[in-house]
Structure 1
Amino acid sequence: MQNFTYSIPTTILFGRGQIQNLGAQMRALGSRVLLCYGGSIKKSGLYQQVLEQLQQAGIAVTELAGIEPNPRIESVKRGVELCRAGDIQAVLAVGGGSVIDCAKVVAAGVSYPGDTWDIVLDATKIVHVLPVASVLTLAATGSEMDCGAVITNLQTHEKLGTHHPDMRPKFSVLDPTYTYTVSKWQTACGTADIMSHILESYFTGVQGAFVQARFCEGLLRSCIHYGPIALAQPDDYEARANLMWTSSLAINNLLSYGAEVAWSVHAMEHELSAFYDITHGAGLAILTPTWMEHVLRSGRADALAVYGTEVWGIDRDLPQADIARMAIDNTRRFFKEDLGLPGTLGEVGIDGSRLEEMAHKAAPLLATGTFVPLRYEDILAIYRASL
C-alpha cells in the first residue's frame, strides 16, 4: 500500500429533511451567494425550498440557471461574471454532478485574471476558490464530496477534468427523496457512472491494498443490488439512499488513497462526450466491458477472476480464465439488461468516422500509470470493438 494523507473534510447532511439546515450552513460561508442550477429543481419544488432557506438566513441570492449536462465552459464564464459583478462570497450548487462541477470551476475562476478555460487546462493556475456547497439531486458523479470538476468545450471538442483541494464542497445536503423524480434513464446512467468510478480504483497495480479492494467490492454489490430496485420502484427510500451514499464514497478518495492508479475508461469516454455530447454514464457502460476485454487480452485474468468471484459470486473453483470471461459477460449483461443501457456506440449515434481523432486525443492522458498499457492503437481498438 502507498503512503497517503487522509483528509475528506466535506460535511455531509444526509437524510430526509436535511434541507432545514441549509440556511445556517450557508450563512457561515457568506451573505452573498451564487445559486447554480439546471432546471429540474423548479419542477420538483426544491428551488422554492432552497430560496426560503437562504432568505430566512438573510442571504442575498444571485442565480446562474440553465446549466447543461456535460457543463459548458460558456456557463462557467457566465457564472464568473455574475460573481464579480455581485461581489459573491460563496457558491451553492443545487442539482447533479454537472451543476456542481460548473459551480466549482466558477468558484475557482473568479480570482483568475485570464481566460477561465485556462484553469481547466492547467489546475496549477487556480489561485483562490470561493467556498462551494451543494444540494444533491442525482446519485452519479460523486462531485458532492470530491475536489474535481469536468467541463466541456464544444468548440475545441475537449472534455477535461480539473482539480483543486479547495473545490471540494464545504458541505453537501444529501436527501435521497430528491432523487425520486429522476428518470429511469438518468438513474441507470448514474448507477453505471458510480460503478465505473469504483472499477477505476478497484483495478490497480498497487500491492497490499486489501482494505480498499474490499470496500470496492461491497460498493459494487450495492449498485448491482439497488440499481434495478430504484428503476422499478423510484420512491424506494432504501434503494435511493444506498445509491446516493455509494455515489459519494465511490470518488471521495476513500477507495483510492493508498492505491492510486490512472483512470482508464473515463478518459476514453470523455472524448465521446466531447465530440457527441452523449450522457456520460451511457458511454461508460458501453466502453467498460470492452476495456475489460483488453485487460483480459493483456494477461490480467487474475484480477478479473477476483472481481468475478467477489462481486458476481462466480464459483471460485472454475478455471481462472472462465471466471474472468464470465465476469465480463455479467458486467455487460447488467448494464444492458438490468439497467437498460445501450451496449454499442452505434446505439447512441456514434459511427466510426471520428474514432482515430478521439483516440489521438485520449492517448496522451493514458500514457502512464494505467492498470494495463493503453497506447493509441489499444484505445482505437477499444473504440472499434464498441461499435
Structure 2
Amino acid sequence: MENFNFYSPTYFVFGKGRENEVGEWINRFGGLKVLLHYGGSSAVKTGLLDRVKASLKKNNIAFIELGGVKPNPRSGLVYEGIEICKREGIDFLLAVGGGSVIDSAKAIAAGALYDGDFRDFYCGKEVEKALPVGTILTLAAAGSEGSDSSVITLENGMLKRSAAGDALRPVFSILNPELTFTVSPYQTACGITDMMAHVMERYFTNTRGVEVTDRMCEGILKAIITEAPKVLAKPDDYDARANIMWAGTIAHNDICGVGREQDWATHKMEHELSGLYDVAHGAGLAVMFPAWMKYVMPHNVMRFAQFAVRVWGCEMDFQHPENTAKQGIERLEQFLVSIGMPIRFAQLGAKAEDIPTLVKNMQPGNQTVGSFVKLTEEDVRKIYELAV
C-alpha cells in the first residue's frame, strides 16, 4: 500500500425530508448571500425549489437564482455565475440537482475567487481556494456531492475537462433518496454505470497489498448489482434508492481509492465521446469500459479473474485464468445490457470515422494516458475501435 493523505470534510445529511434543513446548514457555515444553482424544470415541478427557498427565507438567507444547467455542463453558464458572484457579493453556492449542477457550482465557486480565467483550473491548474459549496442531490450518479473534482465542457472546442482540489469538496451534501424517485429508468441506469466506473477506475491498479480497499470496491459493486434491478423495477423503493444513492457517494469520495494507484483512462476517453456527441456520461462509460478491459486484460489476468470471481461469482479456472477474466468482462456487459445501457459505438450515435477526432481532442501526443496500463495514442485508437 502506498502512503496517502485522505481529507473528506463533507457533512452528509441523509434521509427523508432533510432538504428542509438546508437553511440551517448554510447558517452553520456562515453563508449570508447564496447563489442558488439548478438545472431545468424538474426541481420546480416537484416542489423541491419552493421548499429550498422557504428554508432559505426562514433562516434569513438572501439568494439569487441561476438555473439552466445542462447535462455535460457548459462553460458559458459558469462565466455567467462567476460574474454574478463577483458583482453581488455572493459568499455561498447551493447546488440543487445532479452531478452536472454540482460540477457547475464548483467551477463558479473556484472562479469567483480567481482573477484569471476559470478554465485555467480545467487545463491543469490546481484549485486552492473556492467559495463554500453545499448540495442537495437529486440524481445518484457522479458522486460530485462528496468529491474534490468537477468536470466542465469548455465550449471553445467543446472539450470536456476536469479540475480538482480539496477546496472543491462540498461543506455539506443533503441526500434524500425520495428526491430520486422521479428519475427516469435510463438516467437511473446511467447513474448506476457512472458509479460503478468510479469504483473500477480505482480497482484496476498495479499497487499490491490493498486488500481492504479491494474488498471495499468489491462490496460496493456487489451492492449496486443487487440493488439496481430493484430500483429499476420499482422506482419508489426507498431502501433500494437509498443504497444506490449512498453507493454513488462513497464510490467517488475516494475512500475506496486511498493508498493505491488509480487509472482514469476510461473516463478521459469517455469525456471525448460526451464532448463530441453530448451523450450521457454513464452511457459513454458503458461503451468504453468493457472495451478498455478487453484491451488491457493481458497486463494482469489475475486481477481481472479476481474481479470475475469476487464481484460476479464466476468459477475460477486455475488452468486457464484468462477464461475466467474474460467471463467477468462478459458478465459486466450482460449487466449493462440488462439495465438498458448501450455497449457499442452505434448505440450512442458515435461513428468510427470520428475516431481520429476523438484521439486528437484527447491530446495524448507523446504523453500516455492511465496508470494500470500507460496507453499511447495508438492504444487509445485501438480501444475506440474495440468499442465500435
Band the TM-score falls in, shorter-chain normalisation: over 0.9
Pick which of 80-89 and 167-176 moved more: 80-89
1:155-210 per-position Cα deviation (integer Å, ceiling 9, x unaligned): 31310000121110000000000000000010000000000000000001011011
Mapped contact 1:123–1:164 kept (Cα < 8 A): no
Instruction: State the partner residue of 1:107.
Output: 109
Mapped contact 1:36–1:99 kept (Cα < 8 A): yes
Q: Distance in 1 between matches of 2:220 and 2:270?
A: 22
Aligned length: 384
What letter corresponds to residue 277 of structure 2 in structure 1?
Answer: Y
Q: Distance in 1 between matches of 2:372 and 2:74?
A: 30
Mapped contact 1:10–1:170 kept (Cα < 8 A): yes
Q: Distance in 1 between matches of 2:374 and 2:326?
A: 20
Instruction: State the partner residue of 1:237.
Output: 238
User: Aligned in 2, Cα 1:354/1:154: closer, same or farther, shift over 3 Å?
Assistant: farther
Mapped contact 1:112–1:127 kept (Cα < 8 A): no
What is the Cα deviation at residue 45 of structure 1?
Answer: 1.1
SS in 1 for 2:8: coil
What is the Cα deviation at residue 369 of structure 1?
Answer: 5.0
What is the Cα deviation at residue 363 of structure 1?
Answer: 5.3
What is the 5 A alignment of 1:305-344? Answer: 305-317=305-317, 319-336=320-337, 338-344=338-344
Unaligned runs of 5+ in 2: none
SS in 2 for 1:238: helix
What is the 5 A alignment of 1:73-222? Answer: 73-124=75-126, 126=127, 128-222=129-223
Q: Distance in 1 between matches of 2:108 and 2:245?
A: 25
Mapped contact 1:154–1:275 kept (Cα < 8 A): no
Unaligned runs of 5+ in 1: none
SS in 2 for 1:7: coil
User: Aligned in 2, Cα 1:12/1:114: closer, same or farther, shift over 3 Å?
Assistant: same
SS in 2 for 1:9: coil
What is the Cα deviation at residue 313 of structure 1?
Answer: 0.5
Mapped contact 2:123–2:163 kept (Cα < 8 A): yes
What is the Cα deviation at residue 368 of structure 1?
Answer: 5.4
What letter corresponds to residue 116 of structure 1 in structure 2?
Answer: F
What is the Cα deviation at residue 260 of structure 1?
Answer: 2.6
Percent of aligned pairs with the same amino acid: 41
SS in 2 for 1:138: coil
Q: Distance in 2 between matches of 1:101 and 1:191?
A: 18
Mapped contact 1:363–1:375 kept (Cα < 8 A): no
Q: Distance in 2 between matches of 1:374 and 1:88?
A: 43
Q: Distance in 1 between matches of 2:242 and 2:178?
A: 8
Instruction: State the partner residue of 2:17.
Output: 17
Mapped contact 2:359–2:380 kept (Cα < 8 A): yes
- Quote the RMSD (CA, aligned, Å): 1.4
- Deviation >3 Å, runs of 4+: none
What letter corresponds to residue 357 of structure 1 in structure 2?
Answer: T
SS in 2 for 1:94: strand
What letter corresponds to residue 143 of structure 1 in structure 2?
Answer: S
User: Aligned in 2, Cα 1:13/1:371: closer, same or farther, shift over 3 Å?
Assistant: same
Q: Distance in 1 between matches of 2:117 and 2:369?
A: 29
1:79-116 per-position Cα deviation (integer Å, ceiling 9, x unaligned): 10111121001000000000000000100001212222
Mapped contact 2:128–2:165 kept (Cα < 8 A): no
Q: Distance in 2 between matches of 1:144 and 1:244?
A: 11
SS in 1 for 2:94: strand
Q: Distance in 2 between matches of 1:155 and 1:384?
A: 27
TM-score of the pair, normalised by structure 2: 0.96
Mapped contact 2:128–2:167 kept (Cα < 8 A): no
Q: Distance in 1 between matches of 2:43 and 2:308?
A: 39
Q: Distance in 2 between matches of 1:377 and 1:131?
A: 42
SS in 2 for 1:364: coil
SS in 1 for 2:34: strand
Q: Distance in 2 between matches of 1:322 and 1:260?
A: 26
What is the Cα deviation at residue 307 of structure 1?
Answer: 0.1
SS in 1 for 2:145: helix
Q: Distance in 2 between matches of 1:85 and 1:157?
A: 28
Q: Distance in 2 between matches of 1:122 and 1:288?
A: 24
